[in-house]
Amino acid sequence: MSGLKSTRGQRLMGKIGAAAVIATLTGSGVALAGPPHPQALNNDPNVHWFAAWDEPPQHSADFFPTPTSYLGIGAAQAEYNLPVNAAKPLGLKVEVPLSSAQAASLFNTKYAPTQKAISYVFADFEMADKNVVIANVANLVKQVRGSQWSKEAYIGQYGLSPVGLAEDKFRRQPGVAGPNQGSQHQFFTKKDYEIKGKEGVNMSNESLYPGEADFRNKSTFDWANSNIRTGLFVAPIGSFSQIQEVLNKDYHGDKDDFLKTDGKDKHKNIPWVARFNNSGNKSLDTDNNTTNGYRFVPGQALPQAGLSGAQTANQMMGRGDFSAQILHYRMRGAYSVNLFHEGGAQGSVVGYSSAMAKQDVRDGWYNHSWNGRTNAIFNDKDNKAATLTLNPIIDGTAGATGNRSEQTGTIWSGEYSLKVANATSFEGKGALDVLASNLDTTNHLIKFGTVDVYDVFCVKNAQGYTYADGGNLLAPSRNYLIQAGLHKLLQFDLVKTRVYNTEADYNALNNKYSIKTIWLLNSQYSVFTNNNRNEIGIPEPTAFGALAAAGTFAAVSRRQRRKA
């Protein structure tokens, strides 16, 4: 974003009082044609749009404009009318409440040259009083829903999801011992998400920043794995999965495109994402000196967390790890993502630019180097998520408290279609692609169990036969070995084949088998391998200019604390 952001913390503090006064919408009297449905962000094979904090002015490929109302309604509307945005969806960041006139101007306008509406509204109200935030969001909903051109837009608020903070088992709660005392986020609840007035919000905008202060981690003494990087990787995926499960169950979140049924739209999940962001996180500040900013330097000790330099070495999220996270989100139901990166080459990770971050999002979402079948599955209307589990069977067991991914740093996601052509003959259809990730420092076995109604097998001979595990929980036929620190893309075909009763029968090729339809592993790839895990992690640098000016962290706007 432009240099204006560097003083935004101070400027915004001066507007908080006015921001707490909630605007009311009056009729505009403008007669327009019927409103269009929101323009699609995710509609394969060629539609994949993402939001980003610094769009505009970059006008990056695959990223649609979300100008901020903070810089003026005229500037936002001028952006919408630029020829470079003619094919792109239109979005808006709303950081302070809109007046009636502002809302009418924004949401009752058709934007040239294709007469489009604003389709995605990302509220980012920062008031300290949660009730004021919710009231402002509710009023924004009324303004959008009461408009004549953008009334079908998707609307969300930063940090607001149908899973309350107290129910998110990957977030820290108030009063928990450790370097950070609980969450920095507003304590939104599911009731807050179901904002009254018209049809309410219909988009979850949770933050999923590895390193943010309210995610549990080894450095906060409440993570079940000894490695920092497992928390950086697994906790955001876990938080996302809990939210998506509720969206699917209660808000038609597993349906495609725009939907109106039972009075509710298909709610979208468009989380805020970053490769790293440890703003306000004392547990990941290696020099333990908050006055000079928060820096996580792998290989340096974290005495406040009881960790030596050897224990922090190789513990940063690599670029490939970030791309893998993006694909896990997509395989579990994300509609798109909203990238937070600011500060040129000094945002998120030292030397990591906005262009790099955007490329990592593209690479994770669709720009895969393997044979293209993953995208083919997403392209098919029959595609489904294979799992939302956070408690997979690893090394023969699931976690007694449902946290096996946390314990092992190992998690898998998948997407499948019973109609996509595969590489093996079973009517030529049925494809399952799985992304398996192991951020631990030891190897692990993953058992994928059953997807749809078909068991998943990982071993076959030249004839395409396999064998049952015979009660052996670690049998190679049902378990896949993933090495420490790797991401693997596994491609399974739906086949009808012999499944021998035991491994001995399989080796003997005797007549002790059954003919079954199963998922059978056909190809495997090491993916997202660009992982330097010793780079220096930092929050957005402009936060510290505001911090120094304010003299105390408590005086900095909540946006600077959370997204910076």
Q: Is the pLDDT of residue 544 over 70?
A: no
The span from the CA of 92 to the CA of 299, in Å, is 41
Range 499-522 average pLDDT: 97
> Residue 532: is its pLDDT beyond 60?
yes
200, 191 contact by CB (below 8 A) = no
Query: Whose structure tokens read 């333990």?
Result: 288
pLDDT reading at 527 higher than 90: yes
Q: What is the mean pLDDT of residues 448-466?
A: 97
Tell me: pLDDT of 322 over 60.
yes
What percentage of the chain carries pLDDT values higher than 70? 84
Q: Give the pLDDT confidence score for residue 556 in this predicted structure.
A: 30
Residue 362 banded pLDDT, cuts 50, 70, 90: very high
From residue 406, how far is each of 125, 160, 207, 320 by CA, in Å? Answer: 32, 24, 19, 20
CB 15 within 8 A of CB 97: no
Q: Can you give the length of the chain in residues? A: 564
| C-alpha of 430 from chain center | 27
Confidence of residue 25 (pLDDT cuts 50, 70, 90): very low
Q: Residues 38, 90: contact at Cβ < 8 Å?
A: no
Two structure tokens written together for 180: 């950070």
Average pLDDT score over the chain: 86
User: Out of 77-91, 177-191, 415-429, 500-514, which region has the weakest mean confidence (pLDDT)?
Assistant: 177-191
CA distance 125 to 436: 37
Most confident among 19-23, 254-258, 431-435 (mean pLDDT): 431-435
Confidence of residue 152 (pLDDT cuts 50, 70, 90): very high
- What tokens were used for 372? 């293209």
Residue 263 in this model has a pLDDT that exceeds 60: no
User: 279: Cβ–Cβ under 8 A, 6 or more apart, which residues?
Assistant: 212, 213, 294, 539, 540, 543, 560, 561, 562, 563, 564
Upstream peptide bond of 57 is cis (omega within 30 degrees of 0) = yes
Exposure string over 84-98, b if 16+ CB within 10 A, otherwise e: ebeebbbbbbbbbbb
Query: pLDDT band at 259, cuts 50/70/90?
Result: low
Peptide bond into 67 cis (omega under 30): no
Residue 533 has, within 13 A of its CA and on its CB side, a CA count of 24
> Could you give phi then psi for residue 128, rounded to 5 degrees?
-65, -30
Of 220 and 15, more confident: 220
Cβ neighbors of 472 (< 8 A, separation 6 or more) are none
pLDDT of residue 43: 83
Q: Quick one: pLDDT at residue 452?
A: 96
**pLDDT for residue 155 is more than 60:** yes
Mean pLDDT of 392-396: 97
Distances (CA, A) of 467 to 445, 460, 514: 17, 8, 9
Cα 245 to Cα 163, 251, 435: the distances in Å are 10, 10, 19
Rounded Cα distance, 340 and 55, in Å: 10
Distance CA 302, CA 281 (A): 12
Does the N-terminal peptide bond of residue 65 adopt cis geometry, omega within 30 degrees of 0? no
Any idea what the Cα angle at residue 167 is, between residues 165 and 171, rounded to 5°? Answer: 55
pLDDT bucket at 15, cuts 50 / 70 / 90: very low
Rounded Cα distance, 392 and 394, in Å: 6
Average pLDDT over residues 178-191: 76
Q: Percentage helix, strand, coil, to 5, in the chain?
A: 30, 20, 50
Question: Within its chain, how far is the Cα of 478 from the centroid?
Answer: 29
Q: What is the pLDDT of residue 441?
A: 96
- pLDDT at 57 (0 to 100): 92
Confidence of residue 16 (pLDDT cuts 50, 70, 90): very low
Tell me the whole-structure pTM to 2 decimals.
0.91
pLDDT of residue 396: 96
